[in-house]
Amino acid sequence: MAELLTAAQMRAIETDAISSGSVSGLDLMERAGSGVVEAILETWPELEEQVGTTRISDEFPQRADGPPRAVVLCGPGNNGGDGFVVARLLHARGWDVRAPLYGDPDKLPPDARANYERWGAVGEQSDLNERSFGTVQTRPDLVVDALFGTGLTRELEGDPAFLLSNLEVLRDEFAVKTVAVDIPSGVCSDSGKALGAFPEVDLTVSFHSEKLGHNLELADTHSAKVVVKDIGLPRAERIQQRSGHVWKVDAPDPKAISKARDGQKYNHGHAMILSGPAGRTGAARLAARGALRIGAGLVTIAVPPNAAAEVAAQTTAIMQTTISGAGALGELLWDTRYNALCVGPGLGLDDNARELVETVLGLQRPVVLDADALTLFRMDPAELFAQLHEKCVITPHGGEFARLFPDLAQKLEATPTGGPAYSKVDATRAAAKRAGCTVLFKGASTIIAAPDGQCALHSARHDRAAPWLATAGSGDVLAGLITGLLARGNTPTEAAEMATWLHAQAALEFGPGLIAEDLPEMLPTVFRKLGA
């Protein structure tokens, strides 16, 4: 897994490296600027073909075009310093570059001031104190936003906001290519929320690691593409730093999902899925299919008597047993070979359903609580939290989260006026601590947090965007995948992380037209491609 950093964590890593003497601030700034230029040329190699040529623009036939034109908007901090490096390096490659400064050059941080002066030795210095792009009079080919980046902690308004709105006009109406250094100015790098105006850019270039804001809230809106460039900083060890950082969920180790050649079904656990009454068994059947496909050795659906025929008619490899109520369930679960349970999909919201949930929780066995199992406690979530334990995984979507954690949801939905803004990561960590179990907060950015602060993020955005998952039953399949992985002996956080990635990957493999039933059937293809 790759680490995802807050602005403060990134500053601490840079400060530690500089303090150790292994690198200077100027070195890091030079590497950052070089990384931006490298990313620009990798993304748009055709721009470099214009150097040293004369051409006539079809869009602006009155203007003879020479080398590519770039405007680098430089801010009053180190992000602006990175911008001056970008300007100087593009100028050295034969580009026509303007790098106006927003702010007072005498108040620039030392390293940014040094690069401002280096730029002044080769290019024209101008300012952005007026509501314009400095001395730029003709349409540029490229605009680089190096105004504020991750350093922004206040709402963006006034001249900078006006400039960024102009930048968006250039991109949308005149096809000017746009780039942000680290993160578009006006976006909180810790939460992905807007701090006033912000531009929508074609490319964001981050350094060392992605920031949380590249994966949360407005991530799909503010950046069409995010590239990370290495600037030579030390990497955190996952084992040592896991509790303090957020980790981006990536493909699971094939060994974690493969099966031993000499194993048999009883080596891989027995998952039980509780079903609701007749006419409401589909959710449980989807969960059961997911648990079986993910590799649980055996899967049983526990059904009320009036649903037995309905379930039996639509399952084969999945077994079933009939239970008449909580007492019968408790008696059945004296068999400890049922080592993971899933409660909630289609279960119902009556007193009997609540008794079933409480019976399962009393066993202190690995269990996934989803859908109705969470909604049952909407009026008194504290009663649910009192029964949860460290072997539980709860999987709320936004509405369920708001019912269980209304105060956290309110903070999360508030419009920020400064940064760092309260994020989905903050809310999920707080929820896991309060609930005393693993919380999987679903969405395009799914957050998985444990009570001890361990946290991972799966981003179904950019190249992993899977909008087809917005279909009835997909969450039931996810609950089943987690249950199956729990049955196979994974910890709650391991099971939640692997299931989330595999769930999205199955959707990506199938593509448009996906319905929930397709998800388990795509897992064999996903497993083969992973080498499991």
Domain map (residue ranges) of the chain: 2-247, 253-411+421-530
CB atoms within 10 A of CB 188: 29
Distance of alpha carbon 192 from alpha carbon 424, whole angstroms: 9
Distance of alpha carbon 290 from alpha carbon 178, whole angstroms: 43
Q: Given strand 69-74, what is the order of strands in its sheet?
A: 96-98, 69-74, 142-146, 177-181, 203-207, 226-229
Two tokens, residue 75:
């801010």
Distance of alpha carbon 386 from alpha carbon 391, whole angstroms: 14
SS3 211: strand
pLDDT tens, residue order, the chain (532 aa): 789 999 999 999 999 999 999 999 999 999 999 999 999 999 999 988 766 554 444 444 334 467 899 999 999 999 999 999 999 999 999 999 999 898 899 999 999 999 999 999 998 887 765 445 544 557 889 999 999 888 777 776 666 667 777 777 777 777 889 999 999 988 999 999 988 778 889 999 999 999 999 999 988 888 999 999 999 998 765 444 555 689 999 999 998 888 887 778 988 999 999 999 999 999 999 999 999 999 999 999 999 999 999 999 999 999 999 999 999 999 999 999 999 999 999 999 999 999 999 999 999 999 999 999 999 999 999 999 999 999 999 999 999 999 999 999 999 999 988 879 999 999 999 999 999 999 999 999 999 999 999 999 999 998 899 999 999 999 999 999 999 999 999 999 999 999 999 999 999 999 999 999 999 999 999 999 999 8
Two tokens, residue 133:
């792009």
Return the amino acid letter for 287: A
User: What is the CATH number that goes with domain 2-247?
Assistant: 3.40.50.10260
Distance of alpha carbon 210 from alpha carbon 223, whole angstroms: 12
Does domain 253-411+421-530 bear CATH number 3.30.1330.60?
no
CB atoms within 10 A of CB 38: 14
